[in-house]
């Protein structure tokens, strides 16, 4: 059975991994300084063989206009070895969008901290994909004591904020979000994310669009874009990251390209770059076993 708070279209999922993660989504009421009302936050928590084993847990952060469903293939592979948490960050996925909150990178970081403090409250290995990588970097810089190791998957964070910000005024902002909601547009984005276009299946497109059915999706997206999104981190900021960092990058990324992989490697002192072969922007979906193997090897290592 699927949770009742999910849109009814969830019943159209066909891939076993998609169905499994959707069925496991839970909600937590997270108190933050952002609003008097708690933020109803969507997450999935899996543990190896039904219980934790004392190893540092993973915390996974999804990309822009996405949800925790993005990790449907990677999650069970990581959770076979250690506690793994996946959360829908503020303003995205199936987490509640409360009117009155200013959706911005700063608000995302605050919400993520209180989610961690409420449910995890121990150091984590932080994994961020695409925009989630920028969020993970921002969180690591602010709360270095929380992050034991950092993993970036085709990460944003070296380019400036969204160029769409200059168009975010009424009524053009509403038109742009309606354009982004278009199934044809989302299909094209999905296909661009993969090297193997056959993976941009109907199930994949549903996973990428299911959260659009939730209230205030468009207003939160407009607010976040108006905030400027994640600005480019300065090399000085990246050089201050002391955690061991694993940079995973699809060798055929057509969304962010491939040049930033080496730039991250140069900027973050204690980092390692591994190319994921035959993969586009989403190696955690396109090559999940290979991606998981690299992540688990990195988590086990004591350099």
**pLDDT at position 98 over 90:** yes
The candidate with the shortest Cα–Cα distance to 293, out of 123, 67, 18, 81, is: 81
**pLDDT at position 178 over 80:** no
The candidate with the shortest Cα–Cα distance to 214, out of 52, 42, 35, is: 42
Which of 73-77, 215-219, 299-303 is the most confident on average? Answer: 73-77
pLDDT at 54: 81
Least-confidence region, from 58-67, 84-93, 163-172: 163-172
Give the mean pLDDT of the chain: 92
For the chain, domains (ranges, CATH) are 8-300 (3.40.50.1820)
pLDDT at 163: 46
Least-confidence region, from 182-186, 193-197, 257-261: 182-186
Least-confidence region, from 164-168, 245-249, 299-303: 164-168
pLDDT at 226: 85
Q: With cut-offs at 50, 70 and 90, classify the pLDDT of residue 10.
A: very high
pLDDT at 160: 64
Least-confidence region, from 11-20, 41-50, 259-268: 41-50
**pLDDT at position 169 over 50:** no
Residue pLDDT, tens place only, 186-214: 888 889 999 999 999 999 999 999 999 99
pLDDT at 51: 63
pLDDT at 227: 87
Residue pLDDT, tens place only, 103-134: 999 999 999 999 999 999 999 999 999 999 99
């Amino acid at each position: 059975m699927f949770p009742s708070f999910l849109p009814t279209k969830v019943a159209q999922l066909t891939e076993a991994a998609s169905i499994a993660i959707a069925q496991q989504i839970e909600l937590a009421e997270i108190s933050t300084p952002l609003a008097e009302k708690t933020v109803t936050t969507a997450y999935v928590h899996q543990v190896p063989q039904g219980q934790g084993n004392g190893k540092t847990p993973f915390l996974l952060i999804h990309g822009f206009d996405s949800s925790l469903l993005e990790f449907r293939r990677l999650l069970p592979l990581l959770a076979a070895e250690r506690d793994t948490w996946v959360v829908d960050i503020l303003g995205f996925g199936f987490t509640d969008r409360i009117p009155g909150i200013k959706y911005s990178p700063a608000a995302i970081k605050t919400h993520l901290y209180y989610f961690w403090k409420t449910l995890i409250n121990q150091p984590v290995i932080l994994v961020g994909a695409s925009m989630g990588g920028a969020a993970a970097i921002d969180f690591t810089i602010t709360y270095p004591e929380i992050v034991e190791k950092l993993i970036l998957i085709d990460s944003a964070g070296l380019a400036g904020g969204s160029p769409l910000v200059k168009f975010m005024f009424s009524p053009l902002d509403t038109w742009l979000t309606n354009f982004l909601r278009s199934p044809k547009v989302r299909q094209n984005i999905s296909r661009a994310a993969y090297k193997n276009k056959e993976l941009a299946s109907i199930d994949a497109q549903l996973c990428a669009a299911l959260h659009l059915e939730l209230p205030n999706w468009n207003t939160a997206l407009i607010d976040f874009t108006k905030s400027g999104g994640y600005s480019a981190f300065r090399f000085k900021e990246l050089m201050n990251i002391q955690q061991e960092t694993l940079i995973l990058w699809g060798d055929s990324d057509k969304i962010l390209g491939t040049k930033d992989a080496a730039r991250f490697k140069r900027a973050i002192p204690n980092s390692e770059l591994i190319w994921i072969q035959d993969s586009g922007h989403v190696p955690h979906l396109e090559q999940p076993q290979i991606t998981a193997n690299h992540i688990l090897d990195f988590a086990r290592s004591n350099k």
